[in-house]
A and B are shown apart, each in its own frame.
Chain A
Amino acid sequence: MKFPKFPILHVWWDELCELVKDEGILIFVILLPLAYPLLYAMIYNNETQRELPICVVDDCMTDRSREFIRRVDATPEVVVAAHCTNMEEAQKLMRRRDVFGILRIPREFDMRLWRGQQAVVGLYSDLTSMLYYKVEYLAVINVAQEMNRNIKVRERQENITAREEELARWPIRFEEVKLYNPAGGFAAFLIPAVLMLILQQALCLGVGMSMGRSRERFRGLVIPPTRHYKNTLAIVLGKGLVHFMLFMLMGIYMAVCVTRWFGLPQLGHFTELLGFLVPYLLACTYMAIFWSSFIFRREDCILLFVFMSIPLLFLTGVSWPGASIPPFWKVVGTIFPSTWGANAYVRIQGMGASLGDCHREILNLWILAGVYFLLSCFMYMFEIRKAVGRTVLE
């Protein structure tokens, strides 16, 4: 095939041909960004735990205790899967993982309520997942508060009019609003950050693979010893362009298709998303090119980059609140585009923020892109000199 004349286009064309021919790279630059978002979205698609089985130990056996249990059973969060006669029996069910919580109503429950005293019900939660505790507590506390209001209004205070009753029930009304994630679910919270991380990691793996391959083929050099590979800028731009173009498509696929298919928050305007994706992917591309220069065997990059995904997810401050990350790790996080990228994306796409609202993140992404671009240039200058030196020796 005939090569285009300009060095940039030549490098670009070379890299593109290499990429298409190499199934090892294709797995990471095509399959991974296409399939992984779908998998993750499917895993978390149910958003939250519903109908979690719990069991009940009702020592009281009165009308009121049964009402309490009925109301708990009716919540969307839990389902009363078993009635046990004593705690030992309930514990056995919990150990067998048939139920994930025990609700215990003591013998004196109803008696104390009639006396006008406080009655205590016990909730014992399995902590296999923090979410179990959260949904059980929410279900039981909601039922308790609702019944408390009824008891207060009907039995403890003498109210005359319906309005007075209503006021006694709710002296102050409150509204709780879950912004940007109405279901309060996992998918809408985790997937956007994961999407950005997938982009970065796939880029690192793809670039690392191709870099390692060059090193293997050209005896330790990252560039082929031909006359087209003499211009630093042409190499850096040409190589970067291939990956940048490809991942721009992937980025749009994630931000538009995946987001729409799984009903994730999509408040961002297309232009703003593009304005964010360009610096993010540039920063990721050149970071990948720079870090990959330390890879001498193509498989090494899998070893180096794969397990970084999980710590990087935590450094973004999306899953673990950024306000609680120690300063040292915050500084470590700043050198990775994913830290800024995930936050900016979550804000633009999830919260409808404008580019101006997250100018700090966008600015930092441009700075990172610039710094990694320069570092890549230095790296290639050094490599070209090495290549020239070697040809002279030979």
Chain B
Amino acid sequence: MLTALKDIWKIARRELRGFGRRPIFLVIMILAPLGFLWLFTSMMSAGLPTKLPAALVDEDDTHVTRQLTRILGTMEETNFVLQTKSFTEARQAMQRGEVYGIFRIPKGTTEAALTQRQPVISFYTNDTYYIAASLLMKDMRKMSEMAGLAMTRAVMRAKGYTDSQIMGTLQPIVVESHPLGNPHLNYSVVLSNLLVPGLLMLVIMLTTSYSLGIEWKRDRQKKLYQMGRGNVAVIVLGKLLPQTVLYTIIFWLIDFIFYGYLQFPCQCGIPRMMLWGLLAVLSSQGFGLLLFEAFPGQMRMAMSACSLLGVMQFSLAGFSFPVSAMDAPFQWLANIFPLHHYFLIYVNQCLNGYHISYAWMNVTALVLIFLLPQLFAFRLKDAFLYKEYKA
């Protein structure tokens, strides 16, 4: 037992010296995750995008439409950067990418409204820019609805109804929406919380197969095998433990910045999230190791597989496009990725503050992904003894 520990320590020290000699390693392991943290948190610091550029086509141009456009201008998401009378001009601005939406008041709107001939106003959003278009659509729809209600309200006021009677007529049923866990609909909370740990997990997978594979590449696998006295577990532990420590510290740093400094909602407390962070690091290492065992000694194939699958896990985690909306094979496939399970644990614990027993399957899955490489350890042993690096 003691010799095994000594061997682990020896291999770990050798690994640390290796880091020192290879600057690319330090750049990828430390600077990249922190860079992502900076990129995403500063990019989405506004939380919800506001004042999105839109165009206003007022073909009518009367005091009534101008009043309407003034109200529109005060809306949260909309910023009319272009006011014109020509729809073509607005459409061209949209095609040039200068505006995300067009609000159009056609000629004769005021006249039709005053003579009770039901005018039609229209708005166009460019849904190739999905988030911007959805937000603008919400504003413009609300405005159009309110414009209609305002006309009825004017009539009812003239007839002598009280304001509460009017509201009871105009909007009898009110929908009160409660987005749970993130009441301000802060996109940074949704996206940064997953993209930054997700990228860190991708880096972990890649570096796991890289740091193992490099031994074959430099033809030192036999020497390493002797250092570990033929015990694969000792070798893997010695090689990966320094990374586990480093990545866990980075993960915890991210947790502190998210929930401590940036005050992202965290129902379960930072210590609990640190525990899930540790589990995410371990399972990502397990995932990388598993792929390395699938292509033993072939660093390039293992890393290619890691990168092809690793990038896909962002789509299959389901935080932008939900897994429940995908076809069945993908719903099933999502389960092999650590990020998907980490995400569901995060939602359960941090966002909603539910009891962990509701996410026991995800915790088990992460533990399984971490333990699975144990089953195929014999392949590593074979690789140490017989496999050579193929250029």
- Contact of A148 with B by CB under 8 A: yes
Given contacts A156-B168, A176-B137, A352-B95, whether A306 and B321 have CB atoms under 8 Å apart is no
Select B169's contact among A157, A184, A216, beta carbons within 8 Å: A157
- Contact of A347 with B by CB under 8 A: yes
- Contact of A171 with B by CB under 8 A: yes
Select A121's contact among B173, B210, B214, beta carbons within 8 Å: B173
Indicate if the CB atoms of A131 and B53 lie closer than 8 Å.
no
Indicate if the CB atoms of B177 and A125 lie closer than 8 Å.
yes
Indicate if the CB atoms of B347 and A39 lie closer than 8 Å.
no
Indicate if the CB atoms of B42 and A180 lie closer than 8 Å.
no
| A126 surroundings in chain B (CB, below 8 A) | 180, 347, 352
Indicate if the CB atoms of B307 and A306 lie closer than 8 Å.
yes
Indicate if the CB atoms of A171 and B152 lie closer than 8 Å.
yes
| A156 surroundings in chain B (CB, below 8 A) | 168-169, 172
B334 — nearest CB in chain A belongs to which residue?
A43
Binds A, one of B128-136, B222-230, B231-239, B283-291: B128-136
- The B343-376 residues at the A interface (CB cut-off 8 A) are 344, 347-348, 351-352, 354-355, 358
| A364 surroundings in chain B (CB, below 8 A) | none
Chain B 300-337 per-residue mask, 1 if CB under 8 angstroms from chain A, else 0:
11011011101110111011111011110010000000
- Contact of A74 with B by CB under 8 A: no
B107 to chain A, nearest CB (A): 15
Binds B, one of A244-252, A292-300, A366-374: A292-300
- The A91-128 residues at the B interface (CB cut-off 8 A) are 95-97, 100, 113, 115-128
Q: How far is the CA of A186 from the CA of B323 in the complex (A)?
A: 13
Indicate if the CB atoms of B118 and A167 lie closer than 8 Å.
yes
- Contact of A44 with B by CB under 8 A: yes
| B320 surroundings in chain A (CB, below 8 A) | 129-131, 186, 319
Indicate if the CB atoms of A152 and B42 lie closer than 8 Å.
no
| B39 surroundings in chain A (CB, below 8 A) | 311, 314, 329
A276 to chain B, nearest CB (A): 14
Select A118's contact among B97, B172, B185, B303, beta carbons within 8 Å: B172
Indicate if the CB atoms of A186 and B202 lie closer than 8 Å.
no
A103 — nearest CB in chain B belongs to which residue?
B175
- Contact of B158 with A by CB under 8 A: no
Indicate if the CB atoms of B173 and A351 lie closer than 8 Å.
no
- Contact of B206 with A by CB under 8 A: yes
Select A297's contact among B118, B198, B217, B358, beta carbons within 8 Å: B217
Indicate if the CB atoms of B168 and A121 lie closer than 8 Å.
no
Indicate if the CB atoms of B213 and A299 lie closer than 8 Å.
yes
- Contact of B207 with A by CB under 8 A: yes
Select B131's contact among A36, A172, A319, A329, beta carbons within 8 Å: A319
B136 — nearest CB in chain A belongs to which residue?
A321
Chain B 27-62 per-residue mask, 1 if CB under 8 angstroms from chain A, else 0:
010001000100110111110011111000000000
A158 to chain B, nearest CB (A): 11
- Contact of B144 with A by CB under 8 A: yes
Select B174's contact among A144, A170, A317, beta carbons within 8 Å: A144
Indicate if the CB atoms of A123 and B178 lie closer than 8 Å.
yes
- Contact of B4 with A by CB under 8 A: no
| A352 surroundings in chain B (CB, below 8 A) | 95
- Contact of A89 with B by CB under 8 A: no
Select A151's contact among B172, B311, B355, beta carbons within 8 Å: B172
Q: How far is the CA of A300 from the CA of B202 in the complex (A)?
A: 15
- Contact of A257 with B by CB under 8 A: no
A80 to chain B, nearest CB (A): 16
7 cross-chain pairs, A with B, having the tightest CB-CB distances, nearest first? A181-B127, A174-B144, A321-B132, A324-B49, A129-B322, A306-B307, A189-B130
Give 6 A-B pairs besides A189-B130, A213-B391, A329-B39 with Cβ atoms closer than 8 angstroms: A43-B312, A125-B179, A126-B180, A133-B177, A303-B207, A306-B311
